[in-house]
Every structure is written in structure tokens, then in C-alpha cells.
């Protein structure tokens, strides 16, 4: 079943009188439960596509449908509501709040979703426990290793139980061993039924995803099964 789709999506910026095409006529459909890697050189349009998927930006033209809703046509408040409840984002730089504890960071999206405090706290502790972070609940992000911070970021992305997880170079600031642990966590999420779209430069990850979408100059130049997709077939 399709979870999301892009239909002839363009994103155009302007530099003075000149248009700059970040994304050019992109079309794809991603099914529920797929693990998709979006790849390409710097400037190929990967981050722009991820920002549109995460409702952090809008297409200039074209449509983006999420769960059959044309989210590209919604107003800012409606987009924020869907982003809060239906999308979890994991950033390369973690983007944790330094002034908050680990458990408070995970609770933050649930506050915006108006989850009752007792349920919110229990949910945060449950997620952190599953990710091996129960012993760090009261710590601040600056007291954690890079891998621990990314685990907290993943728990935060999962806090409102979204069907779609977006990961922007989630291992880019991690050593190889810790990066492999994060990839295992993302793979487990897919096995549990979530959809994960991951922007990455790492060609080794082509073997662990269902599908590889490769971009060049804002256009899709390759859309093929990854190693996991071939094994599942």
C-alpha cells in the first residue's frame, strides 16, 4: 500500500533574476514498510526532497501526497499538525535541546500533540528503554556520546508513533561501529512496519535497504531495488 507519492515535483529558488532548480519533475511512490535510501552527490537535491517529505518546505509546483492527503496544499498550521503526528525526523546533528534532559527531549513532540503528562513520560521511558537508554534518562545531551545522542533522537522521532521516519545522514557524525548500530535500529523499525527514508552518501547502505533512489542535478537518474529488496523478492 502506498504511503506517500511525489507527482511532478519541482522546487525552484531564485538568485536575483535567475531560477535555480533544486528539484526537477520528480516522481516516485513509496509503500508502507519500505526502507529507501536517497543518494547522490552534494547539491543533487537530496536534502530538498527530504525537507519536502518532512513538511519543512513546499514544492514550487507538483503535489506531495501522504496517506492520500495532498499535504503540499495545506496551510502552515495543518502541515505542522501532520508533521507532529505522522512524521518523525532524525537529523545528522541530532538537534537535541541542550537545556532538556534525555527524557524531556523525547517528550517534546508529545507535548505539541497534547499527550497527557503521565502517558507522555511513560511512553518516553518505554522508548528509551527499548533503545538501551534507561540509565541516561536524567542526563543532558552534552553528557552523552554521539551514538547515545542519536538513540535519543530516534526515540524522539518515534514518540508520536508516526508511520514515516525520515533520516538525514543519521550516521554521518558517528564512528563506523556506532553507525552500524544506528542502521540496525532503523532496520528493526522497518521490520516492525514503519517506512524509513534515509538520505546517505554511504554506498555500503545500498545493500541493507529495499530501494535506492539516486539523484543528479535535481532529477532521478536511478530507482532500483537495494540489497534487502532483492533478498525479499
Give pLDDT tens digits for 146-189: 999 999 999 999 999 999 999 999 998 899 999 999 999 999 99
Band of pLDDT at residue 16, cut at 50, 70 and 90: confident
List the domain boundaries for the chain: 34-46+76-232
The CA distance from 45 to 39, in Å, is: 9
Band of pLDDT at residue 135, cut at 50, 70 and 90: very high
Q: Average pLDDT, stretch 57-72?
A: 96
Q: Topology of domain 34-46+76-232, per CATH?
A: Rossmann fold (3.40.50)
Looking at every residue in the chain, the average pLDDT score rounds to 94
Chain centroid to Cα 133, Å, comes to 21
Residue in this structure with the C-alpha cell 514498510, named with its chain if needed: 33
Q: Average pLDDT, stretch 187-197?
A: 96
- Please state the pTM of the whole predicted model: 0.94
What's the start-to-end Cα distance of the chain, in Å?
A: 16
Q: Average pLDDT, stretch 6-31?
A: 95
Q: Has residue 118 got a pLDDT over 60?
A: yes
Amino acid at each position: 500500500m502506498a504511503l506517500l507519492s511525489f507527482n511532478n515535483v519541482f522546487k525552484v529558488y531564485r538568485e536575483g533574476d535567475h531560477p535555480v532548480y533544486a528539484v526537477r519533475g520528480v516522481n516516485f511512490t513509496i509503500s508502507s514498510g519500505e526502507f529507501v535510501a536517497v543518494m547522490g552527490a552534494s547539491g543533487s537535491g537530496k536534502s530538498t526532497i527530504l525537507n519536502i517529505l518532512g513538511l519543512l518546505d513546499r514544492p514550487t509546483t507538483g503535489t506531495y501526497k501522504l496517506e492520500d492527503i495532498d499535504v503540499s496544499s495545506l496551510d502552515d498550521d495543518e502541515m505542522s499538525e501532520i508533521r507532529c503526528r505522522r512524521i518523525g525526523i532524525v537529523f545528522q546533528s541530532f538537534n537535541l535541546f541542550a537545556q532538556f534532559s534525555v527524557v524531556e527531549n523525547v517528550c517534546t513532540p508529545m507535548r505539541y500533540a497534547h499527550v497527557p503528562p503521565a502517558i507522555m513520560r511513560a511512553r518516553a521511558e518505554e522508548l528509551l528503554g527499548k533503545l538501551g537508554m534507561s540509565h541516561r534518562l536524567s542526563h543532558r545531551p552534552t553528557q552523552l556520546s554521539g551514538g547515545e545522542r542519536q538513540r535519543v533522537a530516534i526515540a524522539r522521532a518515534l514518540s508520536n508513533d508516526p508511520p514515516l521516519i525520515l533520516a538525514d545522514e543519521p550516521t554521518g557524525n558517528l564512528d563506523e561501529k556506532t553507525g552500524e548500530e544506528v542502521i540496525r535500529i532503523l532496520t528493526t523499525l522497518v521490520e516492525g512496519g514503519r517506512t524509513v527514508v534515509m538520505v546517505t552518501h554511504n554506498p555500503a547502505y545500498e545493500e541493507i535497504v529495499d530501494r535506492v533512489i539516486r539523484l543528479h542535478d535535481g532529477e532521478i537518474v536511478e530507482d532500483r531495488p537495494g540489497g534487502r529488496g532483492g533478498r525479499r523478492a
